[in-house]
Structure 1
Amino acid sequence: SLLDLGGGTGAAAWAAAGAFSSLESVTVLDQVEDALALGRDLVRQAPSEVLARATFARAVAGEWPQQEADLVTVSYVLSELDERAQEALVADAMQRGRSVVVAEPGTPDGYARVLRVRSAMLAAGWTIIGPCPHADECPLVGSDWCHFAARVNRSAEHRRLKGAELSYEDEKFSWVAAARPEVAEPLAVRPHSGRILRHPLKRKGFVEFHVCRPDGTAGREVVSKKAGERYRAARDAEWGDTLP
């Protein structure tokens, strides 16, 4: 089950439906009725049955109806709130969800908000699922910011509204996902080999990555052609993937 807090038109619900074939129910809560109405119209055309029967309900932050879910999403919401309201919303999400995903614009400010969420999750004893391969302090603090990108196709109308020429744009975002320990342990959530933090540099005979490592450091990793299968996987790896 999915509960999308401040979900507006339900963009996070569409993403979850595409990622999880096991998703059985979706509830989107928001205080803006126009956004909810658009969300209802959009899901009427959804190829997913779970989206087609999703619930879109008006509710004000802090006055959400009593409801729990396997996954709670808070996507592009925190930037609209002051810091105290952000903390309250994240605490509410963690109280309701067995796992929580928070996404913000991939700017330094968005990254800072995600870092505060991550700290709250760790303080509550939750297990970080991603993007971090560790539970230490982010190694990018003070020098860079952790963010990723998703390529979005632009329709002709989208290009017109934005005054753009390209048929796509790269949406930058920062995110964190965590789960209660009793949820993460059965899923065998384990540290991976590292998270790719930039577009890989694919050279002749090797691929160079900038990676966040399980030991809490970040830096350069190289996979050469001598690595065989690992090298072939590295050639296909992209920004945001785990290091092969």
Structure 2
Amino acid sequence: MSRTPTYAAELRAALSRAMRGVDERELARVTEVLVARYRSVKPASSPILASGVHVAAYAAYRMPATHAALSRVLEAVADRGVAPRSLLDLGGGTGAAAWAAAGAFPSLESLTVLDQVEAALALGRDLLADAPSPALANATFRRAVAGAWPDDQADLVTVSYVLSELDEHQQDALVRDAMRRGRVVVVAEPGTPDGYGRVIRVRTALLAAGWTLLGPCPHEAECPLLHSDWCHFAARVSRSAEHRRIKGAELSYEDEKFSWVAGAAPGVLDSQVTQATPGRIIRHPLKRKGLVEFQVCRTDGTAGREVVSKKAGERYRKARDAEWGDTLP
């Protein structure tokens, strides 16, 4: 996987500026409420970001983690040769996907974030005051409601950490909306069994419509973990001092678990997209003296153990640097 600039430090600095003057005790209180809500698997009956302080708390505690996960996802999509000029983020809130996409795709010229909560969009705009790229600085944040999205079209459409707020009928409708508007669609969800289940539902819809999977799967057969486990990955997130105080945390980092799927519409990017990966690393590698052991999802639709020994030379050296979520060297 490529290691492009993710703008994580710039985003943390922007969030720190945006939180100045906001009561930290109130942020911590609301954060507890939001954490409990996001751990629930029930669809939301009303907007989760119900006030300005809810939006500020969400941005402070969730945006760095969402950004870290999406940066890894979009880097993997970029590694397949995808180079979008336009991004449309459905339900994008404060803009974590836009920040991640700007880091992953130097080709981007326009970014549009749609969401129903005006306070979230306003904060998203404020965070761009010192945006690290021209495309990000000129991103558009517009109010729109699911089911009544504008008829915008984009090379890349993202739907991240949104499906858990919807019932299955609404989820399916949102995915269809994304597929009608995008040449490539990326969906990311929390790396839980429930999040994985929603991603599998999206994967099934993409394949049924004749789309080509871009990741993380190296095949289009049934997921080999479907009946025994769940496919998810992790991104390391650095916590700022404010982040630690708001969450009542001590460690200077956390690991954000996520599940994802990406697909390209029929006939799209055929000349640009590279061949499928030789396999996807689906657990933390075990590194021992003279060998690296992986759990891998393979191109033949199976999953299991792969070992790269020191005798493999250059492949072994690459294996020592490989991480959970990367392609198999």
Give the TM-score of the pair, scaled to structure 1: 0.99
Give me the identity figure in percent.
Answer: 80
Q: Secondary structure at the match of 1:84?
A: helix
State how far apart, in whole Å, the 1-side matches of 2:251 and 2:117 are.
31
State how far apart, in whole Å, the 1-side matches of 2:275 and 2:206 are.
17
State how far apart, in whole Å, the 2-side matches of 1:192 and 1:101 are.
17
Q: Secondary structure at the match of 2:284?
A: coil
Determine whether 1:68 maps to 2:153. Answer: yes
Q: Deviations over 1:38-73 (max 9, x none)?
A: 100111221111111100001100111110000000
State how far apart, in whole Å, the 2-side matches of 1:112 and 1:77 are.
14
User: Offset of 1:34 from its aligned partner?
Assistant: 1.0
Runs of 4+ in 1 over 3 A off after TM superposition: none
Which residue of 2 is the match for residue 222 of structure 1? 307
Q: Which runs of no fewer than 5 residues in structure 1 stay unpaired?
A: none
Which residue of 2 is the match for residue 7 of structure 1? 92
Q: Secondary structure at the match of 2:121?
A: helix
Q: Secondary structure at the match of 2:315?
A: helix
Determine whether 1:233 maps to 2:318. Answer: yes
1:87 is matched by which residue type in structure 2? D
1:143 to 228, 233, 236: 228
Which residue of 2 is the match for residue 51 of structure 1? 136
State how far apart, in whole Å, the 1-side matches of 2:273 and 2:112 are.
27
1:171 to 246, 250, 256: 256
Residue pairs, 1:61-210, within 5 angstroms: 61-210=146-295
Determine whether 1:28 maps to 2:113. Answer: yes
Q: Which runs of no fewer than 5 residues in structure 2 stay unpaired?
A: 1-85
State how far apart, in whole Å, the 2-side matches of 1:188 and 1:58 are.
33
Give the TM-score of the pair, scaled to structure 2: 0.73
2:111 is matched by which residue type in structure 1? V
User: Offset of 1:178 from its aligned partner?
Assistant: 0.5
User: Offset of 1:133 from its aligned partner?
Assistant: 0.1
Counting helix residues as a fraction of each chain, which structure ranks higher? 2
State how far apart, in whole Å, the 1-side matches of 2:111 and 2:178 are.
15
State how far apart, in whole Å, the 2-side matches of 1:215 and 1:19 are.
29
State how far apart, in whole Å, the 2-side matches of 1:188 and 1:70 are.
13
2:277 is matched by which residue type in structure 1? H
Q: Secondary structure at the match of 2:267?
A: helix
1:211 is matched by which residue type in structure 2? V
The answer to which of 187-196 and 159-168 deviates more is 187-196
Q: Deviations over 1:104-161 (max 9, x none)?
A: 0000000000000000000000000000000000000121100011111111111011
1:17 is matched by which residue type in structure 2? A
State how far apart, in whole Å, the 1-side matches of 2:274 and 2:162 are.
27
User: Offset of 1:184 from its aligned partner?
Assistant: 3.8
8 Å CA contact 1:129–1:189 kept in 2: the answer is no
